[in-house]
Structure formats: structure tokens, C-alpha cells
Amino acid sequence: MLRLESNKLTVLLTSCCVYSMRSHVGSIASSNLWTNIVHALAQSGVINALHADVELVNNGDKSEDASVLVHLLRVSRNHGYVSLCRQLHGYVVKHGFVSESRLSNSLMRFYKGSDSLEDSHRVSDEMPEQDTISWNSLVSGYVQSGRLEEGLSLFLELHRSDVFPNEFSFTASLLCTTENLAARSMHLLRDCETWHGERQCRCGTQSIGMSSLLPAQGTINLSLGLWFFHQTPNPDTVTYNELINAFAKAGDFNNAFQILKSLPNPNSSSWNTILTVSNQEKLLSFSPQCICQALDWTEYSLSIVLAAIAALAVVPWGSLIHSCALKLGLDSRVVVASALIDMYSKCGMLKQAELMFWIMPRKNLIAWNATISGYARTGDSTEAIKLFSRLKQERFLKPDRITFLNLLAVCSHCDVPLELTLGYLEMMINEYGIRPSVEHCCSLIRAMVQRGEIWQAKMVIQEFGFGFDGVAWRALLGACSAGKDLRAAKAVAAKMVVLGGVDEDEYVYIVMSNFYAYHERWREVSHIRKIMKD
């Protein structure tokens, strides 16, 4: 078994002290530590010595040794160390670990995720006894890659084996693109229900994801989906949503609305597909009266759909739902009115948002924040600051972190004096006891850099405790780029590279490459692009 002392492990590995590993004992429980192990192994090439010099297994306890290898495989897979996973596969085969289903299944997941289905199949064939997990992994791999006939053939093999299918087995088998495959899948589903019924395998009546009925190539078999839906005794919200999704994508909005109406607790996801897939011509065929009658509207359901519309900025839907709210007499309710203000604000219809705000009999903080946010989006600092001043005079309301975030956003995009911006930040901390978040910090950074206070912005990151937060440094680098300050951008980029992380490095390279190109420093551009390519 791998015997390493946790606090010495990283140093040993990164120093490539492979032979010292044998002399340390202890157990490894930390997932972060496993990540360090794998990073170090991958960088140093240590894994090449597994079969000879590194005693990963040496005490005969295969169960514990397999746990070590499972950890290594999982972290290697998550970090994209393909060659490392393949070498671990060789180690597993050579040292007789193929009987450990945990290891084999982990290897199969790796190969499936790497689009190496033949290798995944080979691992399956090497297993003395395949379990349901390995079958499911193999079947779903073929189906997801579009090799449907092979996937269905594998499911037939599972059907004839001694392994019991579960709901995930059927989920994979039901993914089909032709009527012929759909009919075969339906037959298998019913046949397996009968065959395994006495063994309590009733997979057909479980809440299998309706997404399994959606095709790999785009053709939806709605009859199969409906049949399966009606076989499910207690479908959950996700199951409802996936069937709504299927009908909406097929353009059958009448059935989509009927299913939505029968859903006990619809959420914003229930609406998202209908909102995104419907084209404007189809949408305009619905009258407000039709929409009102389609569902049993409440304040809660109206606020949910308005939030979804706001997130997607689907203006025609917003107008329809507003008309529906007016017809039902719910538009003046605080929850609905504030949702309407938020929706109009996020859709860029500030005049409608203002109108809704001022006619509200009782304004909650959501309405105030949404209106200030609308001014921030349009760059109207004067109105935003005026409205904030009015909010401070309210007896039963006080600004929150969202209020100040919107206010700082106005300051970062408009010609607001830096002293006033800093005053709002001080007010937030001292008067309202709100601790600055990284989002507040980013807005302040943009405001400072626009006014030439780049080095002061760098100090703010440290003072607020975001020195190791890549988001804050990204904001500063982006602001330096917008301000065309090459010297400052180089210093910030160097800091971000030190912080590390693949995503951060890529962002730095892209920004700096564009920055050097703007300054016509083509040698640096070529150098950065070479680094990115390597």
C-alpha cells in the first residue's frame, strides 16, 4: 500500500525524490493532497517508474491498494492527465487489479470521457465479472457518441446476462433517433419490466430522466416520451421539465402548456425552454387571454416566469406576461410589480421600469435595486444617485450589498468623482456594516483605473483581502487593457501568472497578446502565441 506522510509528500514528489517515498508512512485522506500527488507525478514523470521503483503496492492488501489507485485515477482524469491514466491502466493490468470493479469502472469512465470507446470496451472485457455500473458506462458511451446501434446491441447483451439493469440502463437504451430504434427500445423496456418484475427490478416505473428520450441527432419521439411519462407514478419536477422541453422544441406549445399546468410546483427551469425555443411568430399567435387561461397563475408563478424572462431578455414574452398580470389584477402586488420592474430593467426598457416603480403603492428593496440597476446599465449616474438618496430616506428600508453594488457599477462606468465613489464604499462599510465582496472590489477597481489610479487600485485588492483572488486581478488587468497602460498591465499579468491556474494563464495570454498587438509589438505577440500553442 502507498505509505506516505502527508506533510512531506508534496516536497518529495516535486523534488522527484521517488526513492524516498518508500520510507514514509501514514494515510492520505485529503482530496487536495491527492491532487498535489497527481500534479507532481505528471510533471516529474515519476509515474513511469511505478512498475519498478515506486512501491505503490507492497503489503498484499488489495482493497486498500485499489483505493489508492482509484484516488489517483479520479484526480488524473479530472485534471486531464491522459498519459498518466493510461500508465495507471497498465499498472492495474500488470499487478492483477482487474478484478477490482472500482478500478475498472474508473478506467472506463476515463476512456469514455476521452472518446476512446474501444479502450473502454477493452477494460470491460478484461473484467472477470461485469457489474451494472460497467454495463451502463459502456452503453451510455456508445449512445452519447451517436453509435446507437452498437449501444442498443450492448443493451441486448445486458438484457441476456445475469446482471440486472437499473433505471440508468434504460435511460441509455431509450436514446434513439429512428422509429425503428424507438420501437426496439420500447419493446425492450416492456420486455424487461415483465422479465424482471418478480425480481423487483421494475425499472420502467422509476423516474428515469426524460432527457433520455431526446435524440442524439435531433428527432424527438414524443409518443415514447409520453408513454414513459404516464408509466411514472410520482414524476418529479425535473421529469416534468424535460417533457415540457421536448414538446416545446417540437413546437407543440399547447401540450407544453398543458403539462406545465399539471406540474404541482413549477420553477423557472419549467419556463426556460419555452422561452428560449419559441420564435416570435409562434409567440405572437398567443393572446394574453390564451396565456392567462393556459395556467393557474399566482403571484409566485408570475414572479418565477418574469425572473426567467429577465434572465433571457425575451421582451415579447415580458409584454405578454405583463398583460396577463393586468388582466388577472395581479400587477399591483408587490412581488409581481417588483419582478416586472426587474424584468423591464434587465431587458433595457427603462421607461417602463420607471413607470412601474413610481406607480407601486408599496416599494420593496427589490424594486429600488432593480431601478437603480437599470440606471447603471444605461449609464445614468444622476438618476441613480438621486434614487439612492431617496432610498436612504425610507423609514423601513435600508440599502443592502446589491444596492451598493449597483451604485458602484454606476460610478465605474460614468464620470463620477472618485472621492464620491470612495465615499459610497466607506458608507457601505461604516454606516451599514456591509463587508465588501470581490464584486464591489472589481467595480471600485474599474472606477480607479478610469481615473488613472492604477497603483492605488492594486493596493485596494490587497487591503480588501483579495490578493489571491483571480477575479479581482482579472478586473484590474482588463481595466489596464482598456486604459492602454502597458506597464501596469505587464505587472498585473506577472502577478496573475504567479497565482497560477490554467484558466488564469489563458486569460492573461489572450489579453496581453491583444494588448501587444494594439501597441504593434509583434515580437511579443509571436512569443505569447507560441507559449499558448505549446
What pLDDT score was predicted for residue 79? 65
Q: Which helix (H) or strand (E) holds 99?
A: none
CATH class, range 436-534: mainly alpha
| HSE toward the beta carbon, residue 155, CA cutoff 13 A | 32
What pLDDT score was predicted for residue 61? 56
Task: Please report, as a single letter, which amino acid is at residue 129.
Answer: E
What pLDDT score was predicted for residue 389? 95
**CA 190, chain centre distance (Å):** 35
- Ordered by start, the domain boundaries in the chain are 1-129, 436-534
260, 270 contact by CB (below 8 A): yes
DSSP 8-state assignment for residue 348: T
| HSE toward the beta carbon, residue 528, CA cutoff 13 A | 21
Cβ count near 466 (within 10 Å): 20
Q: Supply the pTM of this predicted model.
A: 0.55
Q: Can you give the three-state secondary structure of 137-201, one letter per residue?
A: HHHHHHHHCCCHHHHHHHHHHHHHCCCCCCHHHHHHHCCCCCHHHHHHHHHHHHHHHHHHHHHCC
What pLDDT score was predicted for residue 398? 94
DSSP 8-state assignment for residue 238: H
213, 185 contact by CB (below 8 A): no
Q: Please list the pLDDT of the chain residue by residue as tens digits (534 residues).
A: 343 343 444 434 444 443 333 334 334 444 455 445 545 554 444 444 343 333 444 445 556 567 777 777 776 676 666 777 788 888 888 777 767 777 777 887 777 777 777 887 788 777 777 777 777 777 777 777 767 667 667 766 765 666 655 544 454 544 443 444 555 555 555 554 544 443 334 444 444 444 444 443 334 456 666 766 776 667 777 778 878 877 777 777 778 877 877 887 777 677 766 666 655 455 555 556 666 666 667 887 788 888 888 888 888 888 888 988 998 899 989 999 999 999 999 998 999 999 999 999 889 999 999 999 999 888 899 999 999 999 999 989 999 999 999 999 998 877 789 999 999 999 999 999 999 999 999 999 999 988 888 888 888 898 888 888 888 888 898 888 776 778 888 888 888 887 765 456 788 888 888 888 888 889 988 988 888 776
Residue whose grid cell is 451517436: 146
Nearest 10 degrees: Cα torsion 509, 512, 516, 522: -10
What pLDDT score was predicted for residue 207? 43
